[in-house]
Structure 1
Amino acid sequence: MGIGEQPAYLRVASDLRQKIVSGSLPPHTRLPSQARIREEYGVSDTVALEARKVLMAEGLVEGRSGSGTYVRERPVPRHIARSGFRPPSGANPFRQEQAIEGVHGTWESRSDQEEADEEIAGRLGVPVGDRVMRTRYVFRENAEPIMLSTSWEPLELTGRTPVMLPEEGPLGGCGVVERMAAIDVVVDNVSEEVGARPGLAEELLALGGVPGHVVMVVSRTYFASDRAVETADIVALADRFRIAYRLPVK
C-alpha cells in the first residue's frame, strides 16, 4: 500500500459514508448487503464486513435483528450554552437551558453516600476515602433521555446541613451556587474540561446509542475561592450536542 492509500475497508466505508451524508442513502434505508458491497466494490467478504463495522462504530448505521443494517436518523445537534452569566431564577443549569430552548425537560435523580476514590478525591481536594454525596441524573427532553450527569460533593462541607441532598429539602434542584450560598459558602469560579471517548455500555443503553458511539464529557468543578465544593461529569452523545462558550474579555 503506497503513501496516502487507504486500506480497502476504509475506502468502501468512506464511499458509503458519503452516500449517507449526501442523502443518497437516506435514514431508515437498508444498507447494501455484504454480498452487494463485495460485488459493487470488488472486495472480499472480510473487507465488506469491516467497512460495515466502521459505519456502525461511527453511529451512522444500526443492525436490526433478522432484518439487516439500516441508516440511522441523523439528529440535528443542539447547543449547550456555557458562560459565566447566571439569571436570578434559582434554577439549575439544565432547567435554564430548557427554558431558553422552549422545550419541556424533566429529570430524575438518586443520591447516595460513598467514599471518594482517587480521581474524585483529587478533583475535590479531599483525602481518598472521605465521604461524599454522589448524585446521578438522567435528563429527558419530551420523555427521551438526552443527557446523563454524576456529581460529587464533600460531606465534610454539606453533611448535616439543609443542602446535603442536592435534589431534596428547601433548596432542592436550585443549583450549586444557590445551595452553597445557603450555608454561607460563596461560589465564585468554575472550571470545565471537555473531552470525548467511546461510550460505556450502560451510558449508551440509557441514551439510546449504539456500540462504539462516541460520547462527549464535560468535567465541571465549582469552587469557593480555591476550595472545590462540587465536581460533576456531564455525558451526552457527541453527535447530538455542541458546546458553545461565551466568555468575557477583560
Structure 2
Amino acid sequence: MVYEVEAPKYVRLAQTIQRRIEDGTYPPGTRVPSENQLVQSFGMSRPTVVRALELLKRDGWLESRQGFGTIVRGRPAAAEEKDRRGREALERDESRTPGRLVEVGEVPVPARVASALGLPKGAKVLMRRFLVEEEGEAVELVSSYFPAALVDGTELASSEALGGSLRDHLESRKKVRFDHVTERVSARLPEAGEAGLLGIPDGVPVLSLLVVACDAAGQALQVSDVLLPADRQELEDTYRLS
C-alpha cells in the first residue's frame, strides 16, 4: 500500500512557475504575470496564487521590486543542492558505484510509473534494478524504467553494469536530451523482494522517491523509483523565516 499525499495547490502552482522559469517562459529580469492573470490562467483562488508567489520569493526564484512588481531572479543556487538525490539516480555510473545490478528485464509497468511514462496499464517496459551498498550494507534500491521505444539500439538490456550514467547512455545512443526532473516522495511497505534486498524486517516502511526525467517537451524518458529504508533516513531542511 502506498501512502501518498498530493502536494497542496499552492505548492503545485509554485512548481509550475519554477518550470516556466527554467524553460525560459519567464526569463530572469522580467515580470511574472500579475496575480489576476495567474488566477485566470490556472483557475486557482487569489490566496493560493499569493501563497505560491511568496514561497517562490522565499526560496529565491522571485523578488519584489518597488515600482516594478514581482521580478524573476532565475534558478537559485540553493535549488541545485536540493535536487541532489534525483540527479544521483540519473547520473550514477553503475560500473563505479559500490553495489550490484540485481535485475534487468522486461516487466509490466507499475501503476505509478505507467502514469509518469504515459503508458497503459499492463504495458511492458525495461527495468534495471541496482542495489547501492555502503560498507557491505544495502542503503538504496534503484529501479529504473524505460519505454520500449527507447531501448532499441542501446545497451540498457545488458545484464552487465554499464559505464557512465544511464542518462549519458540514452542521450548518446538515442539523440534525446534530458531537460528537467520531477521528484515525488511517498512512504509504503516494501514488497517481499525489495525488503529482502534492502535487508529490512517485516513491517518497516520505505521512502519511495519517484524520479521522473523528461525532455523539454515534457515527455518522460526515464523513471527511477529510489527506495530508502525509512528507519535509516532523516530529512532536514533549513530556511529563513520572513
- For the aligned pair, the TM-score class normalised by the smaller chain equals 0.5 to 0.7
Structure 1 residue aligned with 2:8: none
**One-letter amino acid of the counterpart of residue 219, structure 2:** R
2:165 pairs with one of 158, 168, 175: 175
Q: Is the 8 A contact 1:92 1:174 kept in 2?
A: no
- Superposed counterparts of 1:92-171, under 5 Å: 93-94=91-92, 105-159=98-152, 161-165=153-157, 168=160
1:233 pairs with one of 225, 229, 238: 225
- Superposed counterparts of 1:62-77, under 5 Å: none
State the Cα distance separating 1:145 from its structure 2 match: 1.6
**One-letter amino acid of the counterpart of residue 178, structure 1:** D
**One-letter amino acid of the counterpart of residue 134, structure 1:** M
State the Cα distance separating 1:238 from its structure 2 match: 1.3
Q: Distance between the aligned counterparts of 1:85 and 1:142, measured in 2?
A: 20
Q: Distance between the aligned counterparts of 1:224 and 1:117, measured in 2?
A: 21
Q: Does 1:200 align with 2:207?
A: no
Q: How many residues align?
A: 155
State the Cα distance separating 1:222 from its structure 2 match: 0.7
State the Cα distance separating 1:217 from its structure 2 match: 0.9
Q: Where do 5+ consecutive residues of structure 2 fail to align?
A: 1-80
Q: Is the 8 A contact 2:92 2:165 kept in 1?
A: no
Provide the TM-score with structure 1 as the length reference.
Answer: 0.51
Q: Distance between the aligned counterparts of 2:86 and 2:133, measured in 1?
A: 22
Larger Rg: 1
Higher helix proportion, which one?
A: 2
Q: Does 1:218 align with 2:181?
A: no
Q: Distance between the aligned counterparts of 1:167 and 1:125, measured in 2?
A: 26
C-alpha change, 1:190 and 1:212, in structure 2 (3 Å) is same
Q: Is the 8 A contact 2:89 2:224 kept in 1?
A: no
1:146-179 superposed Cα distances (whole Å, 9 cap, x missing partner): 21121110011222x124337658xx24223212
Provide the TM-score with structure 2 as the length reference.
Answer: 0.53
Q: Secondary structure at the match of 1:221?
A: strand
State the Cα distance separating 1:185 from its structure 2 match: 0.3
**One-letter amino acid of the counterpart of residue 83, structure 1:** D
Structure 1 residue aligned with 2:178: 187
Percent identical: 22
Q: Distance between the aligned counterparts of 1:165 and 1:209, measured in 2?
A: 28
Q: Is the 8 A contact 1:91 1:174 kept in 2?
A: no
Q: Is the 8 A contact 2:91 2:167 kept in 1?
A: no
Q: Distance between the aligned counterparts of 2:159 and 2:164, measured in 1?
A: 8
**One-letter amino acid of the counterpart of residue 195, structure 1:** S
Q: Secondary structure at the match of 1:202?
A: helix
RMSD over aligned CA atoms reads 3.5
**One-letter amino acid of the counterpart of residue 201, structure 1:** A
Q: Is the 8 A contact 1:187 1:224 kept in 2?
A: yes
State the Cα distance separating 1:133 from its structure 2 match: 0.5
State the Cα distance separating 1:234 from its structure 2 match: 0.9
Structure 2 residue aligned with 1:83: 83
Q: Is the 8 A contact 2:86 2:181 kept in 1?
A: no
